[in-house]
Structure formats: structure tokens, C-alpha cells
Amino acid sequence: MSCELVVVVDKFGKPIGTEEKLEAHRLGLKHLAFSVLIYRYNAGQLEFLLQKRAINKYHSGGLWSNTCCSHPRPDEDIVLASKRRLVEELGVTASLKLNDIGTISYCAKFSNGLTENELDHVVIAESNKVDLDLNPDEAEQCEWWPLSDIEQTMKAEPQTFSAWFRLVLEKTTHHLNN
């Protein structure tokens, strides 16, 4: 199995080195990441393509989250990394117009001792239809959720979603409304 590296950044977001992915999460090192969120308008209602993470993921298994997410490889462009992970996680090969709309920063500690401390690029794309071929090691399900259903579930059952999803959704809806 090959060693997956993440790009470690300083408090200003400047790359300062690399670390093996799981070790970076064990140590809680701040590192680069990206979260892709595909959206569409269906009968005038905003919908998002959400992924239910595979139960065996190293953290947040079985939770709903953005369409896909991961870490860019050293010297890998964020949009190209996003395209790569859409294929690897969901089998999405369609040519989507991906747009990096900026970053969010968050730190979440998990019960298994891992910490996500990420400078996370939010990457969005509009698409009315996406053909999927889910990688079962990555995703259990992928479904379109109306924004109103997401908001209602977040209020009633916030534990249904990954720790970072609320921030990704807020960044995306703010961008789409301005």
C-alpha cells in the first residue's frame, strides 16, 4: 500500500511540508483539503448531491457529507485533485465545470483519537444529472437532498452530518446567493 501524503500548512495557509495522511490526523497537523459539492435546481428548488460516507472510513463513517472530499497531493492543483477524487470515490467521469470558491478552516476531534485540522477548499459545480458508480470503500450512498431537507435535518439531527459539512454548505449557499 502506497504512502498517502498531505500538505501541511502554517497558520497563514502557506505550505510548510508534507506528512503521511494518518499521522497528520493523529498529530492534528493543519493540512490542505478540499470538499466538492455538486448542486442543481430542480423545479426551482436548490438541491445538493450528498454522499453517505462508507461505514469503514477512518473517521465519520456512516455520516452524510458533501459530494466528495479528500486531500490534494503535493503540488497537485485543487480542481484537478477534485476531479480525481470524484472518479475515485463516486465514479463520476462527466466533464464538470468545477469552481474553487475559497476556503474554510476547521478543527474537529474524533473519538478514535484522530483530528481533522484542515484548510479546506470548497469546490462546487452545477449539474442536473450525474452518473455514479460508487466505490464501496468510500461511499455507501449518494443522493440529491433539497436544501430545505438538509436544513431541517441539521436542526433535528445534526449528528447525521460530518463535522465540516455545515461550513461547506454555508460557504456554498452564501456564494450562490451573492
Q: Do the Cβ atoms of 9 and 119 come closer than 8 Å?
A: yes
Active-site annotation holds for 118? yes
107 is catalytic: no
> What's the gap between Cα 85 and its chain centre?
10
Of the listed 47, 68, 118, 138, which one is catalytic?
Answer: 118
pLDDT of residue 58: 82
Distance (Å, rounded) from C-alpha 86 to C-alpha 106? 22
Residues annotated within a binding site for Mn(2+) = 25, 31, 71, 116, 118
Summarised one tens digit per residue, pLDDT across range 29-43 is 999 999 999 999 999
Question: Domains, the chain, ranges and CATH?
Answer: 5-177 (3.90.79.10)
Q: How far apart are the first and last CA of the chain?
A: 44
Q: What is the pTM of this model?
A: 0.95
- DSSP strand pairing (45-53 vs 15-20): unpaired
Strands (E), 54-113: 64-65, 68-70, 99-109
